Amino acid sequence: MKREGKGQRVKTFKAWIPQQDLTKIETQVAVYFKPDSGWFYIYDGAHMFAAAAERAKKSYDGRDVRIHDTMITDNTLDGVLNGFKAICFAYEEEMKNAAKKKVIRFTFKANTAWDGSHQPKSDISFCGEPAIHLTYEVLYQIGDQVYFQDAEDGKLQYRGKADEARHRHGDAVTIDWTPEREAFFENMRQSLVTLINRVDDFQKNLLVNVDNAIAATTQLLLENRSKDE
């Protein structure tokens, strides 16, 4: 054990310490012990301590760990090590939240035949044509990665790249969020659901409904023709 002004150095270990720009620097972290107090100390990574102390306290249930502006202390070696891990994670979350922007990721897939002007599509497996699938997600983007967050200060849950859908590159488009854009996509989704439900209801009594629809269409055509004459 090496004696220094910070106490006796009792352990060193390598850790990737997150930075403000979301990069990580591999660092040789030292743990110190002061016999007079009976506490363990870590001083490395001090830029994280004040910035992420509150978040770390919420996520880590260590009763004795204390996070100061320039050090982390605990009365056990395991406690100070776990506290350091918690502060690293909490600081990274703080920096992600500071850098995030709200976005909408839109995914569209279809199966269609050639119609003379549009190329055929066969995006959906085990399904004939025509077929359509669309979905949108309200997410948070950091760089080229997107995350789901169910509360303003909640955990950011990784959802892949901004242009990925089901881990396939280039299958999605991500745009900045506005309430009007979210309402537009929700209306699009709901319109498709309404169409599906109407077709489902229609086919439950298909023979009657198709003949009624044909008769109604024929009558409408006759009425329009009479108006034109």
* pLDDT tens digit sequence for 22-77: 999 999 999 999 999 999 999 999 999 988 888 887 766 666 788 899 999 999 99
Q: What is the DSSP letter of 100?
A: -
Closest CA to 102 of 25, 37, 165, 156: 156
Residue 183 lies in a domain: no
Q: What is the DSSP letter of 173?
A: E
Do 93 and 144 reside in the same domain of the chain?
Answer: no
d(CA 38, CA 80): 12
Domain containing 40 equals 2-98
pTM as predicted: 0.71
3-state secondary structure (DSSP) of residue 49: helix
Do 147 and 212 reside in the same domain of the chain?
Answer: no
Q: Which residues of the chain have pLDDT under 70?
A: 1-4, 59-63, 165-170, 220-223, 225-229
Q: Given this model, what pLDDT does residue 1 score? A: 47
Do 93 and 6 reside in the same domain of the chain?
Answer: yes
d(CA 148, CA 154): 9
Residue 184 lies in a domain: no
Do 63 and 130 reside in the same domain of the chain?
Answer: no
Q: Given this model, what pLDDT does residue 168 score? A: 64
Q: Given this model, what pLDDT does residue 228 score? A: 64
Residue 82 lies in a domain: yes
Q: Given this model, what pLDDT does residue 229 score? A: 60
Which of 98, 123, 139 represents a domain boundary (last residue)? Answer: 98
Do 91 and 112 reside in the same domain of the chain?
Answer: no
Residue with tokens 């979210």: 182
Give the total number of structural domains in the chain. 3
d(CA 169, CA 189): 23
Q: What is the DSSP letter of 144?
A: T
Which of 74, 98, 122 represents a domain boundary (last residue)? Answer: 98
Residue 32 lies in a domain: yes
d(CA 147, CA 158): 4
Residue 185 lies in a domain: no
Rg of the Cα trace of the chain?
30
Helix (H) or strand (E) holding 195: helix 179-204
Q: Are strands 101-112 and 131-142 parallel, antiparallel or unpaired?
A: antiparallel
Token pair for 35: 């016999």
Q: Are 129 and 112 in contact (CB under 8 A)?
A: yes
